Amino acid sequence: MSIHEVFMPALSSTMTEGKIVSWVKSPGDKVEKGETVVVVESDKADMDVETFYEGFLAHIIVEAGETAPVGSAIAFIAETEAEIEQAKSLANSGGAAATPTSSPEPVAATASAATPALASQNGSNHKEGRLVASPRARKLAKELKVDLTTLQGSGPHGRIVAEDVEALSNKGKQPAPAPAAPVPTSAPVAPPAPPTPAPAPVAAAVPGQIVPLTTFQNAVVRNMVATISVPVFRVGYTITTDGLDKLYKQIKSKGVTMTALLAKAVAVTLQKHPLLNASYSDQGIVYHSDINISVAVAMDDGGLITPVLQNADAVDIYSLSRTWKSLVERARAKQLQPQEYNSGTFTLSNLGMFGVDKFDAILPPGQGSILAIGASRPQVVATPDGLFGVRQQMQVNITSDHRIIYGAHAAAFLQDLAKLIETNPQSLTM
């Protein structure tokens, strides 16, 4: 009997369970090696899961919308149609699939890039505007330079398959016939403008209703609980931002974001304070070779993710800003790769855009410090000549792991950060 189990894959180092977003294939459908069969939501992103076997999707154990632990069986694949009924019987009896080898083999792998999900007849968390295509179709489209967004899939539930790409490519080689009818204007409607910073929308709650946590939210819960065992302390500082604000106005038109400016300022300061970029381990202090700044981003449908600006101290501010915009877009589309959200060495949490004066941030697991940034506001201050003046000032609060970082270390870091922002912000563009 050649019946194989499809296992719930581990899509990240922190993932303990996954949620089925949608089944791309339905029971009885033919599947090919390397073809996507299911889309899984991990604690950070939606990822395509591809089969390593050719055959038929015989039985689905975990339906769309349900969760399963990493490593547990979520479906059966039979190599022949005759074995489909055997697989169903096996599933009903609760037995394990027989495999050709003595040790279990992985039956599925995640695609190299997160791919949008598609609704299936099994039910799913369908999201409008998502594009689903088989790996072969994507590869072929790249080779033939075909825009997948112009295709209507002929596969199951509208999925784009290789034949769709070939058909369009062959059609393009023939004389273009006169259009029989104008293309409906409803299809190429311009996408909505990117949302401006605003509090993440919360699903409308019904009084008395219990709304289950999303996979993202459960991941945040686990991380926050893990921080309880870490002894932390907090230090606050007030920074005058007149120079930084002036610089931002000068280069904003070139695509520079304030988030990138703040991340760059922190990264440059961390060069002088490697201990603040370090983390604790049972073996001692881990000094990281790179300065990777994580920045907290609230997800629209709940949860929190921290895209990482890698080597932020060495990358120029313009490239850093472009990278940040791309990270945010892909984070909210759940398309970040693991290294883009789990490689941070220091975290920023900026609520200044919401008008928050000051707050304390919770230290992420595996890092030594997190900096909470409040809004920059005009304040009446005493000037060195004994008079009063109005200055733009923001309050920052750093939370640090007291096992390796002490008050004097954090204070020295904040002093140097303030000095950079107040006296030499232009150096951030060099």
| Strands in 321-415 per DSSP E | 346-350, 369-373, 377-382, 388-401
* Sequence-ordered strand ranges (E) for 124-249: 232-240
> CA angle, 18 as apex, 20 and 125 as ends, to 5°?
30
398 within 8 A of 370, measured Cβ to Cβ? yes
Exposure on the CB side of residue 120, measured as CA atoms within 13 A: 22
Task: State the Cα–Cα distance between residues 52 and 176, nearest whole angstrom.
Answer: 40
CB atoms within 10 A of CB 210: 6
CA distance readout (Å), 193 to 189, 196, 251, 257, 384: 12, 9, 22, 17, 46
4 catalytic per annotation: no
**Integer CA distances (angstroms), 225 to 67, 81, 221, 222, 370, in order:** 21, 48, 6, 5, 16
> 411 vs 3, 203, 268, 414, 417, CA distance in Å?
62, 40, 16, 5, 10
Kind and range of the H or E element at 219?
A: helix 215-226
Q: Are 393 and 379 in contact (CB under 8 A)?
A: yes
The structure tokens listed for 38 are 């299911």
Find, among 227, 282, 291, 242, the residue nearest to 404 by Cα. 282
What does the block give as tokens for 371? Answer: 């900096």
Q: Which of these is catalytic: 273, 288, 402, 409? A: 402
Give the span between the Cα atoms of 379 and 361, in whole angstroms: 24
Residues assigned a catalytic role: 402
